[in-house]
Structures are given as structure tokens and as C-alpha cells.
Amino acid sequence: MNQSTFFGSLRAKAASWIAPRALAPAAGGWIDVTPAQPPGYFQMDMKVRPETILAHPSVYACVSLISNDIGKLRARLMEKVEKDGRTIWVEATRPAFSPVLRKPNHYQNHIQFKQWWIMSKLTAGNTYALLQRDGRGVVVSMYILDPNCVTPLVAPDGSVFYQLTPDNLTGLQQTTLIVPASELIHDRMNCLFHPLVGVAPLFAANMAAQQGIGIQKDSVKFFSQGAKPSGVLVAPGNISPQNAKEVRDYWNTNFTGENAGRVAVLGDDLKYQPIRMTSIDSQLSEQFKQSSESIAQAFHVPAFKLVLGSLPAGLKVGDMNQIYYTDCLHSPIEEMEAALDEGLALPAGLRVELELDNLLRMDQAAQADMLGKYVAGAIMMPNEARERVGLPPIKGGDAVYLQQQNYSLEALNERDKANPLAAKEPPPPAKPAEPSEEDKALIAWAKAQAETEKAIEAMRKAAKPEAKNDI
């Protein structure tokens, strides 16, 4: 891509553009905080190298932790589709957008690209990704630029442009190149002083990091002297400046630095009195821990993720990871997704989404519990859950299952309309069963037999005279 030809017509207008305050980087790439900067841009008007701040263990841990966790999240292209009368988002593949998400440029894979994106944002407050297009205008590569070599410009009409310096890695050969905002993704941290100026967490962590580094440097110097505190040699009386200089030089030469710890023999009743505070008196451990906690607070990283103090009582690993995700990772993930949507000019119905399942990949118990509930709750098919854990599909696994005792609210409502709890009327008495033909014949024979017996008994009574009672 001939960027010089594409953007060359913009250079003539650059003289009328202005750079927002606090945007011009200092020479050498330092974080240069001078009185000319807006008040409070850095405390104490100090010039501090970013690599010096990053030397603090807690700063390095925060930057690497956040960037590595977001870097491992796979960027997926999602498409809105209509299925069974409902709108859902499903993963899709498009030749114009999918390749650049899988391989952003020629020297970084997608994990390294996202790591560098977040590192630039956390350390400089701004991430600048230059877009390279093909002849169709489709983005084929994205390059993260050095934030200290990019200066946003605002035209008189309010249009935003960016001034870039040469960078062989990204193919920028011109001394100065001006590009419009459409050719560059600008993801920025909280803009405290200007809407185009992202302020990194180092703004708030600067003094705490300086304090911690100072404590470490002092401890290194102290222990390099054999853990012997500095002090004074006290004479019983007045001594001349010349003698004082000779004693001082003799002491420094023979009993400091590499010679610390040697046995000293003092004459003329000289006495050595240490003047350094002990670590207990100065509370070095407490102060260093406080500086680390202040740094973690500036980066929104929970203290337990940096092994500061004990773990919170009553919380499971999943609960602590959820706190970390909600307070620290959620916002930069959403901001990166929105920046990629806009930078790639995705049409309606498409969006970029970072796959959050990788955050649970190392916690197998939490992942199994989640997948089990999804399958039991008819949210996911068994084969979909098996695919998440790298298992092949099984027969019958492409159906949604639900336990039989579960009923829909509609079915329960129909049941309640029938008032199943009301008292039921007793059933009518059952009619006697009709006798068979054989039974009818037996019944008729029995009746005839009974009639015959009655007739014989009547004939007997008629033939026998009645006996008369004698009085």
C-alpha cells in the first residue's frame, strides 16, 4: 500500500491543525511531566521513565496479568440471524473480516496482538492501530503503533487526524504522515483532560511505584554494605577539619562497600554510632505493601490476584475470579470489541465478540458445573457441551433434553383452571352386571323348584285335620 500517495494531499492542510493539550510526547519517549502540562498530569512535576515505573513488581504484575488474560480470548465474528421466529447471535465466517481477526499482521498472532493492544493502553493510556487496506478497501492488516510516536490533530472543522512518525515495522517510511481517523483505531483509557487523551493507570500509580522502588533501592544498597547501617565517628573532644577528613576517608576506604563488615580498630576513644533507622522503625514492609495495594487499586486489580495479604474469607475461586472479571476485565474487553467493530466498519448484523470461555478453561470444576447446568436447563445440547471440552459427538446428543417432571407455566395454568384441589363428587353406584344365559336358566329352575315345594307343603296341610284343644 502506497500510504504516501494515499495521504499526501493531507499534508498541505496540516499547518492549520492543532494538537490537543497533553498530546505531544516528550523526546526519547519518556513520560514528561512539566509545568507546561495540565495541572495534576503527574504528581510533583517529575520526569519518570515508563520502564522505571514498570520495574515495580506490582505494576509489572498488573500490566502482564490484564494483558495476558485478555490476549487469550479468541476474537469471534458474530452474526445476527433469525431462527424459529427469534433473533440470536451465532459465530460466522466472512472473507472480508475473519482473516484479519485470526492473523492481524505479519509479525503477530492474534494473542500477541491483543496483548500489545492492552499493554499500550495500560502504560500509555492510548492504543493506536493503523489499518492497512487492499484494493477493495477491506482491512487486511492492523498494526499497533508506538503511542509516543502518534499525535492526534484536530482540524478547524472538528475533524480528527493523526500525525505518525516513521516506523519500519509497520511500513511507514515518510518523515511525517497524516492519516484521518477512519484509517486508525484509537482505543483510549479514561479521558480526564481531553476526549482524545487517554490517561493510563500509571497516572495514579506513579507516586506509589516511586515509593516502592525507592524502598527496594535503599534495601539493595543497605544489604550490599553487609547490612551495616551508616553512622558517625564520635571523638571525645574537638578535632581539626584535616583530621576529620583523614578519619572519614580512612573509614570509607576500609569499612564500606565491599569492605563492609571488616573489623575496625578505633583509637583516641573514637566511638561509632549508627544513625540509620531500622526496618522495624521505618516500617518498610508495611510501606511497601501499602504502595503495592495502591498500585493494584489504580489498575482495578483485586489485591488477592497479586498475592497481597490473605484470600477473602468465605469466597470460592469462582467468586474471586468473577470479582476480578467484573471490576478489572469487563470494561477493556467491551471497549476493544466496540473499537474493532468501528475500525473494521462491520455492517449491521455483525459484531466482534471476545470468547470468554477461555477464562474458565483452567478451572475445570467451574466449566463442568456450567456445562452441566446448561445441558440440564435445555440451554445447550449434549454434543455442544462435549465440543466445548474437546470430545467427539455422540448419537442422540443433538437434541435438547429436559427432565420429565418439569412442566411449562402454560400447562400449569391450564391445570389450575380446572381447580384440581376442589372436592370431587362421589361416583354413581355401579349397576349390577346382567346374568348370563346359564345363570338365568339356573335362576328360573330354582324359582320353579321353590314353587313346587310350596305347592306340596300346601297339599299336606289340607289333607291333615287340625287338632282341637281340650279345655
Residues 3 and 57 in one domain: yes
All three cell numbers of 211, joined, read 515509593
What pLDDT was estimated at residue 23?
38
Number of domains in the chain: 3
Domain that residue 248 falls in: 230-275
**Same domain for 132 and 28?**
yes
Q: Shortest CA distance to 346 belongs to which of 87, 128, 89, 70?
A: 89
- Domain boundary among the residues 339, 358, 377 is at 358
Residue 415 lies in a domain: yes
Question: Residue 67 burial by CB count (10 A; 0-12/13-18/19+): exposed, middle or buried?
Answer: buried
> What pLDDT is recorded for position 15?
41
Claim to verify: residue 198 and residue 154 sit in the same structural domain: yes
250 and 156 part of one domain: no
What DSSP string describes 316-366?
-HHHHHHHHIIIIIHHHHHHHHHHHHHHTTPPTTEEEEE-GGGGGTT-HHH
Same domain for 25 and 121: yes
- The answer to whether residue 436 is domain-embedded is no
Q: Tell me whether residue 206 is in a domain.
A: yes
Mean pLDDT per 10-residue segment, the chain (471 residues): 45 46 38 35 50 85 94 92 82 93 93 95 92 90 90 86 78 75 93 88 85 73 56 65 73 63 60 56 70 90 84 78 89 95 93 84 70 81 81 83 75 74 70 77 83 83 63 45
Cβ atoms of 357 and 374 within 8 Å: the answer is: no
Which residues, including other chains, have CB under 8 Å from residue 376's CB and lie 6 or more apart? 401, 402, 403
Cα–Cα dist 361/338, whole Å: 25
Query: Which pLDDT score is estimated for 216?
Result: 72
Could you say which of 304, 336, 358 is where a domain stops? 358
Query: Looking at the domain assignment, is residue 457 inside a domain?
Result: no
| DSSP class per residue in 130-195 | EEEE-TTS-EEEEEEPPGGGEEEEE-TTS-EEEEE--BGGGTB-SSSEEEEGGGEEEEES--SSBT
Which of 315, 312, 125 minimizes the C-alpha distance to 206? 125
CA distance 285 to 430: 93
* Residue in the block written with cell 505479519: 106
pLDDT reported for residue 255: 63
Burial class for 63, CB neighbours closer than 10 Å (0-12, 13-18, 19+): buried
441 occurs within a structural domain:
no
320 shares its domain with 399: no
Strand partners, 154: 18, 160
Answer yes or no: do 43 and 74 share one domain: yes
Q: Which of 118, 125, 106 is nearest to 169 (CA)?
A: 106
Grid cell locating 205: 500509580
Place of cell 495534576: 40
CA distance 371 to 389: 9
| Same domain? 23 vs 1 | yes
Q: For residue 28, is it within any domain?
A: yes
Q: Are residues 240 and 305 in the same domain?
A: no
From the list 270, 236, 269, 279, the residue with the least C-alpha distance to 251 is 270
Which pLDDT does position 138 carry in this prediction?
92
- Tell whether 4 and 148 lie within a shared domain: yes
Q: Return the pLDDT at 274.
A: 61
78 and 187 together in one domain: yes
Q: Which of 217, 248, 275 is the last residue of a domain?
A: 275
Residues sharing a CB contact under 8 Å with residue 344, sequence separation 6 or more, in sequence order:
97, 100, 139, 352
Which residue, chain included where needed, has cell 498488573? 62
For the chain, the residue count is 471
Check whether residue 373 and residue 291 sit in a common domain: no
Amino acid at 140: V
Burial 289-300 (b: 16+ CB within 10 A, else e): bebbbbbbebbb
Element (H, E) at 116: helix 110-124
